[in-house]
Structure 1
Amino acid sequence: MSDMAARLRLELADKIASEGWHDAVASVPRERFLGGAVFLPDPARGDLWAPVRPTDKSEEDWLNLAYSNETWVTQVAGTLAEDATGMVQGEPRSSSTAPGLVVRMLKAAQISEGDKVLEIGTGTGYSTSLMCRRLGSSAVTSIEYDPRVAARARAAITDVGYEPHLVVGDGLYGYADNAEYDRLIGTCSVRTISPLWPQQIRAGGTITVPISGWMGEAAFAHLTVAGDGTASGRFLRDDLYFMSARPHLPPPRPLLMSGIGQMRGARVDPAILQAGTALWMAQLAVPQAQISWGVDTTFLVDAGTGAHADVVSDSGGGWIVHQHGPINLWDRVEEAILTWHKAGRPHQSGFGLSVGPEEQRVWLGDPEGPSWNLPA
């Protein structure tokens, strides 16, 4: 363990950690969890990634990379960075999340000494090890979907001296063998809360996980589990996002079409959907749809039903929408956006979530307010 690594760890802990996590960040060597390489994006094309290894840099530069408060991609399109022989094309599938984001997640989950934790998404194992440092290895169970990512994480976690219960499998099933838990945290984003999770958490325990969808927007849920196995709570102010759970990834998107179907004037400027809570509203309204933007056109498409919509500006300064298929996608998006406008355009933290055996309902303001069901 080099003096430089120890110094950089302490500097990182001073910068990002407090309220119980300073010692963990200052103690857990993040460079061990980057493995033999990370991916850096090609500056010209966002879908191309180049592996960078410790041997490509000086020790000082590699350690500075490891202890920067940045997310480093470790797997793209199923290829681990250390296995790549050249540029890899595709979407990131695993990463070493920025330490500051990890600590914010752990603090938001209100994890503290004495808690027994179930982590959904081991990833590189860095967050797992932070919890082991603070809680003790026996208090931590972590599940990873990808066997190769899991093997890589196990080696790193063991190497730094921790022995949590590590599981290879689908985290949406939880892990009943070690239940019940005080806290469940998702270090991946999900479209909906697994109905099995509340059954494995004690009454009064919590579930903290980003809820995202096929349009790419997320909200950070913090729920308390009741004695009857239901859960409810609000979305937090933090805009935290993690890579999607593998089973919750969208299907291949069909070809985009424009100018087909029923035509009318649109009541909402589609530009509002570029990001933020407006996109969250659209995603709630049509959770089965995906969104794309052309030069002058916004597209919505539902791979399951074949429904699609496109919205373009007209010469008079308004917008024209075409809709086709069994669901009028834009109608539903407009209704949700206008409801949000009427409520004063609150951030996602103005919403809550109630999880029951039959449905999961996102509500605006309070449980009696306007609501939308998450996908089953």
Structure 2
Amino acid sequence: MKDEELRADLVRRLTEAGHLRTARWRAAAEAVPRHEFLRGGFFERVPGSWPTWWRPVPSGDDAWLERCYRDDSLVTQVAGTIVPADVRGEICRAPTSSSTMPGLVLHMLEELQVADGHRVLEIGTGTGYSTALLCHRLGADRVTTVEVDPDVMTRARVALGRCGYAPRLVVGDGLAGYGPSAPYDRTIATCGILEVPGEWVEQTRPGGRILATVSGWLYASELACLTVEGGVARGGFLGGGISFMLARTHQPPALGCLPDMESADESPARLAAHEVLDDWTARFVAQLAAPRAQHISLTCEDGSAEEVLLDVADGSWAALRKDGERSLVRQGGPARLWDAVEEHVRRWRADGAPPLERFSITVGPGGQRVTWPTK
């Protein structure tokens, strides 16, 4: 199939799935060739590998073209600098840039609720595909996009130019927004963030919308939609368990050496690790209680498993294990991490365990606050 046919088929599938709901965004999806933004190839996961290994898929043949028009996210960079052309064979490194699945991109653009004449700030240019969709819908002169990685931006610039789009392209930390083009009617982020930056609120017009995925180092995340009024952004979460790679400056620090976790006595835990960490919303609530904690799983010498929360900054930690039907916890450092998590999760449960769609988020001079409805 030619790329026009593949594109039309993708649009049909996304429309049937409910990701494309309006004629203007359907027209954009029909017009923008995704494969032009994947000319450098992409990485595919090596089946069965753990930790994950990747192998390059070069561009140019029919199989590559067909995969460009699947509703899949495609990794385009690993380890912060390595692209498919750099690799012969396989590589085991963390993804650092990708082309997000078109269904999610277009779902978010629909939720942004742009209108003719709106000015948009996009955080995270990536391959440039979502930027091109915005340019087609609004006009390139209405789009400002910020990318932290100069090499990623260079590739996006070339792809956008091939497709005839020339938005304002800014290399820099998108968490600071981009003041020279402000104010914006809409701000959208295609990376995960720990907190919505105050700069985005300041640079978005009163009545404007901010759309961003709020996450944490336990990697439970949700798409937040906020409206700006009086210097404060308020809103809620749209649901769906959406996740993105965290912005590079919001990535967790390296774990380093683990603390001596045999130095603390065990006590019964009111909640088992799996009750919190295996449930998406409970894990999101746990992040609110322990926002700087990371999670690792350990296998002990006797073959048993331990789930560990660790705050690298202050050295607090909690290690949980099962003992028959009981759950036991050891805690160390200046803060009692698991106590804080249990208190938050138990309070959320006492309020009826509301889903994330019923949570509220407020961002103002005092920072970010996330709450849920109480009984």
Do Structure 1 and Structure 2 share a fold, with TM-score over 0.5?
A: yes
Moved more, 295-304 or 185-194: 295-304
Aligned partner of residue 118 in structure 2, secondary structure: coil
Moved more, 261-270 or 214-223: 261-270
1:218-367 equivalence runs, <5 A: 218-227=221-230, 229-256=231-258, 258-272=261-275, 273-295=277-299, 296-315=305-324, 317-365=325-373
Aligned with residue 27 of structure 2, among 10, 15, 23? 23
The one-letter amino acid paired with 1:31 is H
Residue 17 (structure 2) aligns with: none
| Deviation for aligned residue 1:142 | 0.3
Aligned with residue 54 of structure 2, among 49, 65, 71? 49
How many Å separate the matches in 1 of 2:247 and 2:274? 28
Aligned with residue 203 of structure 1, among 203, 206, 210? 206
CA distances 1:317-373 after superposition (whole Å, capped 9, x unpaired): 1211100110000000000110111122222112111111122111112xxx59xxx
Gaps of 5+ in 2: 15-19, 300-304
How many Å separate the matches in 1 of 2:86 and 2:140? 29
Aligned partner of residue 266 in structure 2, secondary structure: strand
Aligned partner of residue 189 in structure 1, secondary structure: strand
The one-letter amino acid paired with 2:307 is T
| Deviation for aligned residue 1:194 | 0.9
| Deviation for aligned residue 1:90 | 1.2
Aligned partner of residue 8 in structure 1, secondary structure: helix
1:98 is the counterpart of 2:106: no
CA contact (8 A) 2:42 2:76 kept: yes
Residue 302 (structure 2) aligns with: none
Aligned with residue 2 of structure 2, among 1, 4, 7? 4
How many Å separate the matches in 2 of 1:357 and 1:236? 24
1:78-89 equivalence runs, <5 A: 78=80, 79-89=82-92
Residue 150 (structure 1) aligns with: 153
How many Å separate the matches in 1 of 2:45 and 2:29? 26
Gaps of 5+ in 1: 371-376
| Deviation for aligned residue 1:254 | 3.4
CA contact (8 A) 1:191 1:211 kept: yes
How many Å separate the matches in 1 of 2:101 and 2:123? 17
Residue 192 (structure 2) aligns with: 189
Aligned partner of residue 198 in structure 2, secondary structure: coil
CA contact (8 A) 1:262 1:324 kept: no
CA contact (8 A) 1:14 1:22 kept: no
How many Å separate the matches in 2 of 1:84 and 1:119? 30
The one-letter amino acid paired with 1:298 is E
CA contact (8 A) 1:13 1:23 kept: no
How many Å separate the matches in 2 of 1:108 and 1:339? 31
Residue 33 (structure 1) aligns with: 37
TM normalised by structure 2 equals 0.92
Moved more, 108-117 or 26-35: 108-117
How many Å separate the matches in 1 of 2:13 and 2:227? 30
Give the percent of matched residue pairs that are identical in Structure 1 and Structure 2: 42
1:160 is the counterpart of 2:163: yes
How many Å separate the matches in 1 of 2:272 and 2:50? 29
How many Å separate the matches in 2 of 1:88 and 1:169? 28
Aligned with residue 70 of structure 1, among 69, 72, 79? 72
Aligned partner of residue 197 in structure 1, secondary structure: helix
TM normalised by structure 1 equals 0.92
CA contact (8 A) 1:77 1:89 kept: no
Aligned partner of residue 270 in structure 2, secondary structure: coil
| Deviation for aligned residue 1:262 | 4.0
CA contact (8 A) 2:21 2:110 kept: no
Residue 174 (structure 1) aligns with: 177
How many Å separate the matches in 1 of 2:362 and 2:137? 31
Aligned residues: 360
**What is the RMSD computed on CA atoms of the aligned residues?**
1.5
CA distances 1:9-59 after superposition (whole Å, capped 9, x unpaired): 11111111231311111111111111221011122234321111025xxx3
How many Å separate the matches in 2 of 1:109 and 1:279? 27
How many Å separate the matches in 2 of 1:147 and 1:187? 17
| Deviation for aligned residue 1:107 | 1.3
The one-letter amino acid paired with 1:314 is D
How many Å separate the matches in 1 of 2:124 and 2:318? 35
